[in-house]
Structure 1
Amino acid sequence: MRAGLDCKFLALVVVLSTVVRDGDVLCGADPTDGFVQVPLTEWNFELQKPYDKPLDQRYSYHDGVRRLWVYADDKPHDPSSMTKPRTEIRIRGLDYSSGVWQFEGYGFVPNGTSGVSILQIHGASHGATTFMLRIYNGDLKYYVSDLVDINDYDKWMRFNLIHNVDGGKVTLFIDGIKKFEANDHGPGDLYFKCGVYAQANASYYMESRWKDIKIFKAHD
């Protein structure tokens, strides 16, 4: 009788660790199960920062931690741009337009940073972006209105952002827990970005920190 129960328990564990086709993850599985890690070099981490500032005045990389900060009265990243200030990492060389892709990284937002995008998927058929994760007074939101998580200042969090292009879905996990899912904004030249990018009602000083950034692609 005990052996039968053990077999059933083992079968349940196997089922819960299985990844569903098209990039959907079952409860109990790790978000990266069924994905293959794509090799990255430092070249893949393209920095965008106020065009008139030296990089070391808006970015540091020490002991594996990438710290990015910007001020609300900073210049945009390019003299011809009319966008708001940013210091962001753009994952270069891994643009995609199909398949199932995933960004993983550990992020930290210090108290006081608000009204800023910290993680995004750039590119879409409709609009400039497919996904934006913003922080407002310590709460994470999908763009402006959809609440994703609360009380997220001053702690390291594991972010797994999955984009199923063919299925038209974006899914966000925080610390291994599914927190949000939405339709994407259509296909395009797509890539991941993280850091700080000022939005409406941004705080004067904005900062986020990132470490252990990885990119994954689902098995074909």
Structure 2
Amino acid sequence: MGAGASSLHHVHYRNLTAGFIELPLDHKDIEIQRPYDVPESSRYSFVNGVHKMWVYSDDKPHSINSRTNPRTELAIKGYEYSSGVWQFEGEGFVPRGTSGVCVMQIFGASHSRATTLMIRTYKGSLSYYRSPVLVPNIWNRWFKLNVIHDVDASTVKIYIDGVLVHEAAGHGGSSHAFKCGVYSQNDASHYMESRWKRIKVFKKE
């Protein structure tokens, strides 16, 4: 179901988190994954409650033995999960020009997949992997993202600014974790950046 679907409906914030417990989240629960050959401060800043992450398409991967694309991501640690219903909430911002990059993901899936979810930006739109487009014209504005992953039912629901924009199947796997930031994908711009604030993690009671 894409952003143009007739069944879109607004869900008030309290309804999205009703029945969930907000888990404590501070700096000890966050790991910044960045190109291995540069200091953290050259790809990440935290100022006035905003996590700013950026990376270049010719950067190194996050570890010397990794073959993955360049990334600067905020990985939530200590809340890896394998069952139940979990929710990520955060406010994101993608500056004009950032394209071909994952800005939020659920890491972990079964077999040949690495992720259960990727939210990417291409030429100013947010999309679920390559398609469908979730929201057009996302550049240079703050948006609120809620992602609800029901592991046992194998479903993922994506809400942007309180609107259900997509529901997808889960992809199995024995361990999952939330990440946000910038992780280069296909057709990436040379410079990629996203900003995040008010990041929260919830678990269904």
| TM-score over 0.5 (shorter chain) | yes
Query: Is the Cα contact below 8 Å between 1:132 and 1:143 reproduced in 2?
Result: yes
The residue number in structure 1 matching 2:57 is 72
Between Structure 1 and Structure 2, which shows a larger proportion of helix residues? 1
Superimposed CA distance per residue, residues 113-161 of structure 1 (whole angstroms, 9 cap, x where no aligned partner): 0000000000011400000000000111111121111000000111001
CA spacing shift, 1:74–1:33, aligned 2, 3 Å: same
The residue number in structure 2 matching 1:7 is none
The residue number in structure 2 matching 1:182 is 168
Q: How does 1:208-219 map to 2 (within 5 A)?
A: 208-219=194-205
Q: In the aligned structure 1, how far is the partner of 2:142 from the partner of 2:12?
A: 21
Gaps of 5+ in 2: 1-8
> Within the alignment, does 1:164 sit opposite 2:144 as a pair?
no
Aligned residue identity for 1:92: K
Match of residue 184, structure 2, among 179, 187, 198: 198
Higher RCO (Cα < 8 Å, 6 or more apart): 2
Gaps of 5+ in 1: 1-25
> What TM-score do the two structures reach when normalised by structure 2?
0.92
The residue number in structure 1 matching 2:4 is none
> Within the alignment, does 1:154 sit opposite 2:133 as a pair?
no
Q: In the aligned structure 1, how far is the partner of 2:41 from the partner of 2:11?
A: 41
The residue number in structure 2 matching 1:110 is 95
Per the alignment, in what secondary structure is the counterpart of residue 43 of structure 1? helix
Q: How does 1:65-144 map to 2 (within 5 A)?
A: 65-126=50-111, 127-144=113-130
Structure with larger Rg: 1
Query: Is the Cα contact below 8 Å between 2:53 and 2:73 reproduced in 1?
Result: yes
Q: Shift in Å at residue 29 of structure 1?
A: 3.9
Structure 1 stretches (4+) deviating beyond 3 angstroms? 26-29
Aligned residue identity for 1:69: W
For this pair of structures, how many residues does the alignment match? 194
Query: Is the Cα contact below 8 Å between 2:55 and 2:191 reproduced in 1?
Result: yes
CA spacing shift, 1:28–1:206, aligned 2, 3 Å: closer
Superimposed CA distance per residue, residues 54-86 of structure 1 (whole angstroms, 9 cap, x where no aligned partner): 000000000000000000000000000000000
Superimposed CA distance per residue, residues 192-217 of structure 1 (whole angstroms, 9 cap, x where no aligned partner): 00000000110000000000100000
> Within the alignment, does 1:49 sit opposite 2:34 as a pair?
yes
CA spacing shift, 1:60–1:99, aligned 2, 3 Å: same
Q: Percentage identity across aligned positions?
A: 53
Per the alignment, in what secondary structure is the counterpart of residue 141 of structure 2? coil
Q: Shift in Å at residue 187 of structure 1?
A: 3.0
Q: In the aligned structure 2, how far is the partner of 1:210 from the partner of 1:137?
A: 19
The residue number in structure 2 matching 1:37 is 22
Q: Shift in Å at residue 188 of structure 1?
A: 2.1
Q: In the aligned structure 1, how far is the partner of 2:140 from the partner of 2:10?
A: 27
